[in-house]
Every structure is written in C-alpha cells, then in structure tokens.
Structure 1
Amino acid sequence: MKKEFVVIGLGRFGGSIVNELIELDASVMAIDKSQERVDEFAQIATQAVAADTTDESSLRSLGIRNFEHVVVAIGENIQASILTTLILKELGVQMITVKAQNDYHEKVLRKIGADHVIHPERDMGRRIANRMVSNDILDYLELSDEYSIVEIRANEKLSGATLIDLDIRAKYGVNIVAIKREDHILVSPQAIEEIRLNDVLIVIGSDVDIHRFEKKVLH
C-alpha cells in the first residue's frame, strides 16, 4: 500500500514536497487555490485539485480525513494557513504538518493542534550557518529547539581512536549513532570500532553539547 498524503499550497516549498513524495513512490493529492498552479502539477501529483481550503465543505468533499498525513504549505496568507489547519483538525485528520512564517504563527498553530510545525527558511539558515562556521560539519539538522543531529568529518585527532577510547557520551553528552565510511554505513557502531580519517560521524545531542564536542575535539 502506498502512503497517502495531501499537500495544500503549491508554491516553491509545497511544490518541492509534492515532487519528493512522488519520487518516493507515495500517493499525493496536491491542492491550491490557483488553477494555474494546479495545472502545473496535474501531470506530477497523483491528483491535483483547485480548492479553497478555508471552506470546510470543500475539504469534506475531497475526503480529506481519509488521508493519513496533510501538509499545509500555504505561503504568505497566515490567516488561510491557520484556518485550514483548524478545519483539518476538526475533521479528524491524523497527522498535520504546517509551514510557519514566524514564531507567532507557530504559537497559534501549536495552540490549535498542528502535529508538526516547520520553519524551512529559518532551519535552512541554521544549517548553512553551521556548515559555514566549521569545515568539519558537513550537515546539520535541527530536531527541536535544543537538539540536533549533525554529520561531522573525522579529522587527524579522531583518526585511530576507538569509540571507547574517546568516551564521547560521558565526556560531552553526545552520541555517535552511525558512521559513514566510503560506500557503507555502520549503524550503532561497537565501542571497539576504530575511527578512520575522513569517516563521517552521525552525532546526536543537545546543541550546547555538540558545540562543546566540536570545539574540544575537532579544533
């Protein structure tokens, strides 16, 4: 069974989600108020519909509650985003992910029951900033306001040491959950695993601990 999603709002962000979900072999209903945007996705999405999602009857007629996950990617119209989310919640949609424009928008979305709230521009800014600041950080993904997962390239300081030698969890409060090595990934590596130069360490922890680990060990 294909997973079934709805994406509401077919701007740059919503459109990219539709494309990626289709690439991942999911079933996607794409919705936008603009018929022109809907026409763009008619040959891409499983189904593309022009509808006003602030109208409860429109959403009901589309059988929206039958989809397991709805993404509200409405762009500049915060009022439409909030009202759409509220209607989806009242209709009993299982999982609702919403794009927030700012912190105030996020607070309101969480108050009315959005399951996940994302700030794509802010989050991308943080990823880019972290990569710019350190040559060793290859990628950065925020898990919450305080916790992240990062990809860190092993340098000469780490090369040749085992995980038990480094005792990273006890010293820095972070965990190495996987190691990318050439063309394969070691998931939950053993304590005796020896780190090699240019291994990519997948590290998870609080932002404070990750920065402390990077400062002490990588510089």
Structure 2
Amino acid sequence: MKKQFAVIGLGRFGGSICKSLSEQGMEVLAIDTDEDKVNNYSSIVTHAVVADGADENALRSLGIRNFDHVIVAIGENIQASILTTLILDELGVKHITVKAQNDYHEKVLNKIGAHKVVHPERDMGVRIAHNIVSKNVLDYLELSKDYSIVELIAGEKMNNKSLIELNIRAKYGVNIMAIKRDGNINVSPYGTEKILSGDILIVIGAVVDINKLEDALFDKD
C-alpha cells in the first residue's frame, strides 16, 4: 500500500514536499487556507483542499488521524504552527514533522507532540556556506552540533591509494561510508578499495575531525 501524507501549508517548503512526494508515487493531501495555492497544487497531489490547519473540526472531517505522516509546513505564523501541531498530537496522528522558524519555536514544538522538527532555511544555509567555503564539499548534512555527513571530492593526494594505505579512520577518526564513481556507489567499501581522483567520498564523523581530514588529504587549490 502507498503511504498517505498530508501537508499543511503550501508555501515554498510545503509545496516542494508535495511535489517530491507525488513524484515518488505517494498519496498526498495538500491543505492551505489560500484558495489560489490549493488550486495550484490540485493537479499535482492526490487531493487539495482549502482548510485551516488550526481548526480541529476541519482536520477531523478530513480524517487526518488516518494519515501515515502529516507535515506542518506553515510559514511565518508560529501560533498557527503550534496550535496545528497540538491538535494533530491530540488527534493521535502517527508521525508529525513540523517546520520551525527558530530554536525557541523548536523547543515548544518538541514539548507539544512534534515527532520531528526541521529548519529548512537554516539547514540549507549551512549546506551552502560549506559548499562556498570549500571546493571539496559537494554536500553537507548536519547530524548534530558536533557530527556531520559530508560528500567530498577526492583529489590527487588520494589518487590510486587504498583505504588501508590512507588509514583514515585511525588517523582522523572519521569513517568513509561509501564511494561514488561513474554513477555507481560502493557502500561500506573494503580496506583494499582504491580511491581515484574525482571519486566522491561520503564521510561521517565529528566536524573537527572531518576538517582535519580535509586539511590533510584534499586539494586546496
């Protein structure tokens, strides 16, 4: 069975989620108070309705508690975001993901029933900043304040050397989770695997250790 998702709030973030879920073949209910936004997504999602996410009766009538996952993507109206999350929790929604505007908003959301809180603008800002600062960084995912997963482009310093030769885990305290090459991905590569210049390495570890690795083995120019 296809999973059923509901997205409340059809701004750029909510709209993007609707499109992505629909492209993956999921059943999506899009909800917003703005009729024009609802009309824009009516041909993209399974169902699109004009409704107030902070209206408990409206959510009940839509059978919101039967959805596998509800995403609260309400924009600037923090009060509406909090109230909607509270109602969803009281209605027994299985999984609630909420967009937060700031850290204080996140603290409140976590206390009132959100299962996951995301900061799309902040997280994208972090990823872009890392991409701008280092030409080696293709992508950056912050796992916590101190740990991250990073995609790095291997250069000449690593070319034709095996993971055993480089001894990255022992020297730098980070792990190479996978190697991408020519559209293929090698997950959990063996120590005998040789790295070639241009390979994309998916690395996990403490931020300070990843930085040490990059300083030592990745091209700066």
Q: Distance in 2 between matches of 1:146 and 1:72?
A: 27
Determine the structure 2 residue equivalent to 1:205: 205
Q: Distance in 2 between matches of 1:67 and 1:148?
A: 31
Structure 1 residue 92 corresponds to structure 2 residue 89: no
Q: Distance in 2 between matches of 1:147 and 1:14?
A: 27
Aligned to 1:157, what secondary structure does the other structure show? helix
Counterparts of 1:178-197 in structure 2, within 5 Å, are: 178-197=178-197
Q: Distance in 2 between matches of 1:146 and 1:25?
A: 35
Determine the structure 1 residue equivalent to 2:51: 51
* TM-score, length basis structure 2: 0.96
Counterparts of 1:1-150 in structure 2, within 5 Å, are: 1-150=1-150
Tell me the amino acid that sits aligned with residue 141 of structure 1: L
Tell me the amino acid that sits aligned with residue 6 of structure 1: A
The alignment yields a C-alpha RMSD, in angstroms, of: 1.1
Determine the structure 1 residue equivalent to 2:169: 169
Tell me the amino acid that sits aligned with residue 162 of structure 1: S
Q: Distance in 1 between matches of 2:8 and 2:163?
A: 45
Q: Cα distance, 1:164 vs. partner?
A: 1.3
Tell me the amino acid that sits aligned with residue 150 of structure 1: V
Gapped regions of structure 1 (runs ≥ 5): none
Q: Tell which deviates more after alignment, 13-22 or 159-168.
A: 159-168
Aligned to 2:38, what secondary structure does the other structure show? helix
* TM-score, length basis structure 1: 0.96
Q: Distance in 1 between matches of 2:80 and 2:146?
A: 30
Q: Cα distance, 1:146 vs. partner?
A: 2.5
Q: Tell which deviates more after alignment, 71-80 or 32-41.
A: 32-41
Q: Distance in 1 between matches of 2:145 and 2:5?
A: 26
Q: Deviations over 1:131-165 (max 9, x none)?
A: 11111111112223332211100011111211111
Determine the structure 2 residue equivalent to 1:151: 151
Q: Cα distance, 1:208 vs. partner?
A: 2.0
Q: Distance in 1 between matches of 2:109 and 2:205?
A: 27
Aligned to 2:58, what secondary structure does the other structure show? helix
Aligned to 1:192, what secondary structure does the other structure show? coil
Q: Distance in 1 between matches of 2:97 and 2:91?
A: 15
Aligned to 2:156, what secondary structure does the other structure show? coil
Q: Distance in 2 between matches of 1:106 and 1:117?
A: 6
Give the 4+ runs in structure 1 shifted more than 4 A: none
Tell me the amino acid that sits aligned with residue 213 of structure 1: L
Gapped regions of structure 2 (runs ≥ 5): none
Q: Distance in 1 between matches of 2:161 and 2:21?
A: 40
Percent identity of the aligned residues? 64
Aligned to 1:127, what secondary structure does the other structure show? helix
